Amino acid sequence: MSRRSSSDSSSLEAPPATPTPLCIICDQAAVGVAPFSRCHMCSQHLSVDVANLFKLKEEVEELLLAYSQESQDSQESQDSQGAAGAASRAALLRHRQDAESLRRLALDIQQQLQEVNHKFDLVQQNIDSFRSKVTGQLSGVLEAVRVCERDLEDVSSYKQEVATAEAAGDMAELLRLVQSMHESLGDLEADFERSERLLREQSDNEELQLRLLGQLERLVGICAGRSEEVDWSRDVAVTATSIAAERERMLEPMVFSHEVKLDDRVEYLAVCSDTSGFVCDRSGRVVPADSEGDGSEALPQPCILASFYHSRDHLLVLSVDGTQKLRCHCDIDWMKDIRGLYCDRQLLFIAQRDAVAVTDLSGRAVRRVRPHIEGFADIRGIGGNAASVFVSSGNKIAAFSKATWEIETVITLSQLPDAYLRNLTTHDNCILVTDRRHHQVHRVRIDTQQLVASLPSARSDLCQPWDVVVDRRGRLFVSEHYAHSVRALAADDGSLLWTLGTPGKSGSGDGKLGYPCGLAVVTGGPHEQLVVADCGSRLVFLSLSD
């Protein structure tokens, strides 16, 4: 992989030409979209796909011709038999009338079946959503309590070691212990603040959860035949009203905010909301605050971190308005390409082919995690939640703990043995991961490790889904690389809300995109903002309605 000089990111260069679509099979230049696969193909493979289409057309025409000839022969035979032929035609007419009645009856039953299934699907969706919210909150509280428990154990150990060092008169060891604890105080305080917040939120939600659990118990009673039908009707009406109101809010449009021009194309994005303790030096490099004297400037907060498509020796760090463009020189092997970025508090997780590098905001190495798992190939994407980091490869997702750095589990989508999982995010105790082979986003439960949905349906699949993010309202954003658009879906059922860009048409300005890739959601201001990395060396910002 080529290297480029680490020149100041604020300098402008001529934007690169729009990339030519490549054949999905052989990586040659594509000349069109295949009718069966709806993917770009070169002339050789496109001609094969078109030939298969015409072959299927000929088979259908032969079947129709055979049916037509058979009906004609039968009619001529009946005409030649006089009165017997007339009786046969009358019997045939009665059979056709009966068949028409049966067809209408079948259509009515099918419609009723669809309505009943739709109602049960609505009930199941609400039960799953309620379960995810309650279990997700409790799991978050439990993990926060365990983190604080480990922190208290560390503090107790520290006190014992300090007492031992003082008793032995070992001032060097005492200094090391005090400095180590001083560096950890920020994390300890953050852990306790997060635990207090989660416990406070849990306490505030207990009354609502008890009420919802009561409704769930009534629902169980209804299914077992122990409740009155009027209670069921009332609960369903309340549920339908809340769903309709929430869906109406999700349909509120986004508004173009601004765009930031870059001197090179960026690929993956991450957002850091807490940059305290880090500054930029005179050269524009991010460093710890205690290592730089006069002339340093505070980092923007929040800030966006981006990896370049063409490998450099740093990540781009910039403010939301684009006025500050800084560099994060990470302790990684820059000859290996980056497969994804994920940021949690002040830790940056950088996915590469064979490992995940963990650094602080200045790029200083903290840990390197290698998923040595049988059947787990090269890493293709990364994401995480409060407790774990997830990486994808093939049809597998591996999870490792942020507390122990050990691999916890491996989720295998056995239903999709040929899946090509890439970028991922988490929402409501689920992993949402792109699959470029099946052109969908799969929703996988973290607790049961089950594939629960593939979004959207196969009849309206995505075109090369690249990245996924979810906002706090439950809107799922998917960048469609070769469709030059970003699609907004409802994260629960995959229904289309709206589309950014003109599908199939590359461009810039006037709401157009060109080969979008990385996505990020920025919070902390009056409005959430969706950030789109465009191949035209720019970041597009859109404000999401609240």
* Per-residue pLDDT reduced to its tens digit, 260-280: 999 999 999 999 999 989 999
CA–CA dist 31, 35 (Å, integer):
13
Of 2-6, 191-195, 272-276, 379-383, the range with the lowest mean pLDDT is 2-6
| pLDDT tens by residue, 87-102 | 555 555 555 556 666 6
Q: Which fold has domain 253-544?
A: Methylamine Dehydrogenase; Chain H (2.130.10)
What pTM does this model have? 0.58
Per the CB < 8 A criterion, the answer to whether 470 and 521 are in contact is: yes
| pLDDT tens by residue, 23-80 | 877 878 888 887 777 788 888 888 888 888 888 878 777 776 765 555 555 555 555 5
Question: pLDDT at position 109, please?
Answer: 77
| pLDDT tens by residue, 106-128 | 777 777 777 777 777 776 776 77
pLDDT bucket at 529, cuts 50 / 70 / 90: very high
Mean pLDDT along residues 419-436: 94
Mean pLDDT along residues 439-467: 86
Report whether pLDDT(244) > 80.
no
% pLDDT > 90, the chain: 34
CB-count exposure of residue 120 (10 Å: 0-12, 13-18, 19+): exposed
What SS3 class is residue 497? strand
How is residue 318 annotated by DSSP?
E
Report whether pLDDT(386) > 50.
yes
Mean pLDDT along residues 517-541: 89
CB-count exposure of residue 299 (10 Å: 0-12, 13-18, 19+): buried
Question: pLDDT at position 269, please?
Answer: 97
CA–CA dist 270, 114 (Å, integer):
42
Mean pLDDT along residues 399-417: 92
CA–CA dist 306, 220 (Å, integer):
49
Report whether pLDDT(462) > 90.
no
- Does the N-terminal peptide bond of residue 16 adopt cis geometry, omega within 30 degrees of 0? no
CA distances from 113 to 109, 118, 125 (A): 6, 8, 18
Question: pLDDT at position 84, please?
Answer: 53
Question: pLDDT at position 385, please?
Answer: 92
CB-count exposure of residue 427 (10 Å: 0-12, 13-18, 19+): buried
CA distances from 279 to 71, 290, 320 (A): 84, 9, 16
CA–CA dist 156, 179 (Å, integer):
16
Mean pLDDT along residues 224-245: 49
pLDDT bucket at 390, cuts 50 / 70 / 90: very high
Residue 468, beta-bridge partner list: 478
Question: pLDDT at position 63, please?
Answer: 72
Question: pLDDT at position 293, please?
Answer: 64
